A = this chain, B = another copy of it.
Amino acid sequence: MKTYGGYLIDLDGTMYRGTERIEDASRFVHYLAEKNIPYLFVTNNSSQPPELVAKKLNEFDILATEDRVFTTSQATANFIAQKKANASVYMIGEEGLKQALQSSGLQLVDENPDFVVTGIDRELSYEKLAKACIAVRNGAAFISTNADIAIPTERGLLPGNGALTSVVSVSTNTKPIFIGKPEKIIVEQAIQVLGMDQDKVIMVGDNYDTDIKAGMNCGLDTLLVHTGVTTKVHLERYEQKPTYSVDSLTDYLNLLHS
Contacts and interface: CB of A to CB of B under 8 A. Distances in A.
Closest 10 pairs (CB-CB, A-B): A163-B171, A166-B166, A159-B171, A163-B170, A124-B126, A130-B158, A166-B170, A122-B126, A163-B167, A134-B156
A137 interface: yes
Given A149-B171, A170-B163, A133 B157 contact: yes
Interface string A119-162: 00111111101100110011000000000011000011111101
A173 interface: yes
A8 interface: no
A115 to B, nearest CB: 18
A168 interface: yes
Contacts of A158: 130, 133-134, 171
Interface in A148-200: 149-150, 155-160, 162-164, 166-168, 170-173
A159 to B, nearest CB: 4
A171 B167 contact: no
Contact of A159 (B130, B150, B156): B130
A150 B133 contact: yes
10 contacts: A122-B127, A124-B125, A129-B164, A130-B158, A133-B150, A133-B158, A149-B170, A149-B171, A157-B172, A167-B167
Given A122-B126, A130-B158, A155-B134, A164 B167 contact: yes
- Name which of A123, A133, A162 has the most chain B CB atoms within 10 A of its CB: A133
A157 B137 contact: yes
Given A124-B129, A129-B164, 7 more contacts: A125-B125, A129-B163, A133-B163, A138-B156, A157-B171, A166-B166, A167-B167
